[in-house]
Amino acid sequence: MEYEKLTIIPSRKGGLIDISSVSYRLGEISVLEDINLEIKEGCYLGIVGPNGAGKTTLLRLILGVIKPTSGEISICGEPPETYLKKEPIGYLPQRISQSIFEMPITVEELVLSGMRKVRRDNLEWALELFKISSLRKRLFRELSGGQKQKAILARAIAMKPKILLLDEPTTGIDPNARDDLLDILEILNRDFGISILVVTHDIATFAHESKCILCLNKKMVCLGEPQKILKDEYMKILYPERAVIHHRL
């Protein structure tokens, strides 16, 4: 299937992230090939695909942690590193460094660390949104898995960024914590206009939540509204060993 440069709905506003003919190689190994994507403000995009499909790499490219081997990425018309000098990007990595689990940092200190200037009103907003105000003086390392996830996400959104990148946010948390998280992501997207890109293996959940799904397997396999995309014909391309993916629609 050949793809032109694809635009992700909704398209009422200007382009936010522009990915043009981006490829990424690690030595001889091709990780991503010829990705063309224009992501508009206010999108809620789920990125799915098998292990090694390049999903996390795509997020790291957008973030500017790594540079494309060829092609260009721009955020609001600027390279990621230039954009980041002006505005932070909310980010939840797949794995966070071990240091945070050893340091004597409180939830409040963690959330404040994500701000360039201390803004108490933003701190209160982020803590209340994730319902962790009562945990503010607790040590981060003493929290449960779900509470830790909320604290890191509260840090990511404390500066009310335009873009939120999440790498497998529902991994390792129970169904209640997952539902809480999904509700908050919906509020952030709907009420605050934060554009959300989620890398996930939890296709069933995010097919229901996101506005658009990108299926990735080194190349772009398909892109569009969840109802149109998550059909067996596409899933067979993505996951040839497992033909049927059941999901809530």
Partner 1 sequence: MIEIFELNIIKRAFLVICLSAPIVPLFGIFLLLRRYAFFADTLAHVGLLAMALSLLLNINSLVALIILSILISVSVEKLRSYGKLPAEGSLSFFLYAGVALSVLLLSLSSKTSSVMGILFGSLSTVTVDDLYLIAAGTVFCAFFLIKYYRQMLNLCIDEELAHASGINIPALKLIFAVAVALSISVSIKTMGALLIGSLMIIPPLSAMYVTKSLKATAVLSVIYALIAGFFGILFSFYTNVPLGAAISAILIGIFVISFSVGLISKSK
Question: Binding to partner 1 by residue 176, rule CB under 8 A?
Answer: no
Residues numbered 131 to 150 that lie near partner 1 (CB under 8 A) are 137, 139
Stretch that binds partner 1, among 20-28, 98-106, 126-134, 171-179 (CB under 8 A): 98-106
Question: Binding to partner 1 by residue 173, rule CB under 8 A?
Answer: no
Residue 77 in 3-state DSSP?
A: coil
Overall size of the chain counted in residues: 249
Stretch that binds partner 1, among 67-75, 101-109, 190-198, 220-228 (CB under 8 A): 101-109
Q: How far is the CB of 30 from partner 1 (least distance, A)?
A: 21
Residue pair 199/168 in contact by the 8 Å Cβ criterion: yes
CB half-sphere exposure, 146, CA atoms < 13 A: 13
Q: Mutual orientation of helices 175-192 and 120-129 as an angle, nearest 10°?
A: 130
Contact track, partner 1, 68-97, x by CB under 8 A: ----------------xxxxxxxx-x--xx
Nearer to partner 1, 118 or 244 (CB): 118
Kindly give, in sequence order, each residue whose CB lies less than 8 Å from that of residue 17, ignoring residues fewer than 6 positions away: 37, 38, 39, 62, 73, 74, 75, 163, 195
Per the listing, tokens 């209160």 go with 124
Question: Binding to partner 1 by residue 100, rule CB under 8 A?
Answer: yes
The contact set with partner 1 (CB under 8 A) reads 60, 63-65, 84-91, 93, 96-97, 99-100, 102-106, 109-110, 113-116, 137, 139, 155-156, 165
